């Protein structure tokens, strides 16, 4: 028999706690945990053993309406609150996440398959940074400037609808919610139904710190119901979406009916150009690093460097190095010591990735390691084999479409101009990499790549730099000053 657990605020948490499973049965609207308008629920599966680890509400359009109205009613007071006070709330949320890091990281590892150590650093550590960084930016941002006889001011855009994915669930929530609220917007969040438990934990933290009612609202459900209602709702001023290109296009279409602002972060098919001029050791470092960048989070990374471009003269060398690196990848329980790759997040994703691997074989790509099927040593969970193809051409499916699994395609080029052409030949433009002996020449090549961010000679990811893409990878930017500005309108007052 389940029992309610009280929070420090005296409000009931939204779940019944069982020995093996958590049943969440409430959504969060206007500062309270409330029962949704429907009795429908959805299972949340544990990626490591395929068991049901939780159930969550499958809310409806009426719940979106209630959340949007609550956010609208709260907007004026929140937007008018002293920026220092808004920043304090964001900082407290970051502290709350830090206090529950282990618990949240464990949930996300079970949801997505990322190894526990990386979940702590990436899946929780980066969201903590986002809330803290949003607070700092809000405090120092220049909201007004004189332009001739005009006073130009930056104001919050209004109510923001946030739809987030399952691969970096809390990270993507923070990228939207932290910066939108810090900017003075109120929000309605729909987290992914595949990895929603971290969103419930974040909501508990928000509830505990006493954020004003209506500033943050969370409605769980499926995209065709909750997402559509959000994009169509007349009292939601902006949609911020991260996910597939197909779903992103639908959000944009529906939002266009009310001329909403729309920010999209969609897919990627990012190229990693490795130069002919590298010495043997640096070439090996670039290839092995590239395998790791392709396989991060078991390949469930939109910015993964999934196309490795190498000179024809060094193709055999690259094949040998990539095969060795991929073959050494330890696949298994994300909570076990030494595990490098956990499972994928769902059965559907596992089957989809295996379908792409088979497509690569059928279209004539050279399979170096991996392939269709289950890795050795695992019997349960959504696992796939780390896979590397070579001899991949631009017209092959695995070179054009986002796979979202641990699958690397090695492609050869004639010269650096040919490499840039191949890199820019897809519909996407989210990320990229380039390794050359001369860093300035590498930077010059990076400038020619039509993509939102490029790693130059292994440059580290910067969580405070703008993140977003060109072409069908989306529009708008997240994180740092640029991500903050996405949630601001511009007004000029002539005086």
Structure tokens at 89: 């709330």
**DSSP-based helix, strand, coil % in the chain, nearest 5:** 40, 20, 40
Q: For residue 490, give every residue at least 6 positions away whose Cβ sits within 8 Å of its Cβ, in sequence order, or none.
A: 152, 153, 154, 155
- Residues serving a catalytic function are 265, 302
Q: In what order do the strands lie in the sheet with 159-163?
A: 32-34, 27-29, 216-218, 186-190, 159-163, 238-242, 261-265, 474-475
- Which three-class secondary structure state does DSSP give residue 262? strand
b/e for 147-176, b at 16 or more Cβ within 10 A?
eeeeeeebebbbbbbbbbbbbbbbbbbbbb
**Strand ranges in 99-201 using DSSP code E only, listed in sequence order:** 144-147, 150-156, 159-163, 186-190
Specify the pairing of strand 455-456 against strand 144-147: unpaired
Instruction: Yes or no: say if 160 and 178 are a contact pair by the CB < 8 Å rule.
Output: no
In order of 36, 78, 87, 111, 438, the CA distances from 137 in angstroms are 35, 17, 9, 31, 35
């Amino acid at each position: 028999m389940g029992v309610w657990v009280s929070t420090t605020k005296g409000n009931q948490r939204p779940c019944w706690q069982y020995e093996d499973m958590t049943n969440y049965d409430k959504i969060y609207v206007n500062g309270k945990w409330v029962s949704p308008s429907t009795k429908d629920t959805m299972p949340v599966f544990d990626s490591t053993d395929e068991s049901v680890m939780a159930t969550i509400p499958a809310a409806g359009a009426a719940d979106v309406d209630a959340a949007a109205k609550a956010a609208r009613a709260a907007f004026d007071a929140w937007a008018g609150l002293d920026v220092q006070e808004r920043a304090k709330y964001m900082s407290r949320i970051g502290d709350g996440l830090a206090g529950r890091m282990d618990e949240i990281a464990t949930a996300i590892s079970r949801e997505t398959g990322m190894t526990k150590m990386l979940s702590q650093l990436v899946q929780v550590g980066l969201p903590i940074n986002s809330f803290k960084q949003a607070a700092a930016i809000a405090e120092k941002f220049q909201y007004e400037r004189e332009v001739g006889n005009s006073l130009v001011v930056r104001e919050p855009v209004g109510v923001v609808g946030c739809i987030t994915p399952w691969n970096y669930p809390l990270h993507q929530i923070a990228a939207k919610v932290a910066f939108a609220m810090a900017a003075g917007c109120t929000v309605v969040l729909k987290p992914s139904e595949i990895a929603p438990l971290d969103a419930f934990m974040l909501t508990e933290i928000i509830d505990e710190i006493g954020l004003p009612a209506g500033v943050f609202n969370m409605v769980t459900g499926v995209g065709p119901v909750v997402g559509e209602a959000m994009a169509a709702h007349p009292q939601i001023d902006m949609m911020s979406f991260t996910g597939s290109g197909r779903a992103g296009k639908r959000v944009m279409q529906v939002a266009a009916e009310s001329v909403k602002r729309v920010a999209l972060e969609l897919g990627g098919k990012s190229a990693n150009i490795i130069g002919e001029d590298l010495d043997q050791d640096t070439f090996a470092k670039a290839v092995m690093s590239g395998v790791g960048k392709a396989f991060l989070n078991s390949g469930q990374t939109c910015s993964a460097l999934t196309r490795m471009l190498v000179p024809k003269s060094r193709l055999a060398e690259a094949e040998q190095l990539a095969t060795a690196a991929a073959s050494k990848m330890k696949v298994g329980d994300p909570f076990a010591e030494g595990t490098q790759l956990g499972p994928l997040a769902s059965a559907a994703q596992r089957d989809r990735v295996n379908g792409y691997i088979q497509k690569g074989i059928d279209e004539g790509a050279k399979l170096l390691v991996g392939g269709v099927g289950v890795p050795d040593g695992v019997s349960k969970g959504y696992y796939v084999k780390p896979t590397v193809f070579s001899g991949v051409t631009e017209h092959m499916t695995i070179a054009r479409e986002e796979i979202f699994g641990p699958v690397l395609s090695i492609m050869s080029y004639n010269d650096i101009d040919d490499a840039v052409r191949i890199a820019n030949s897809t519909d996407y433009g989210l990320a990229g990499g380039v390794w050359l002996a001369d860093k300035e020449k590498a930077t010059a090549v990076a400038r020619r790549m039509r993509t939102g961010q490029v790693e130059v000679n292994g440059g580290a990811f910067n969580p405070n730099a703008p993140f977003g893409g060109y072409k069908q990878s989306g529009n708008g930017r997240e994180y740092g000053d640029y991500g903050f500005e996405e949630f601001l309108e511009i007004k000029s007052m002539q005086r």
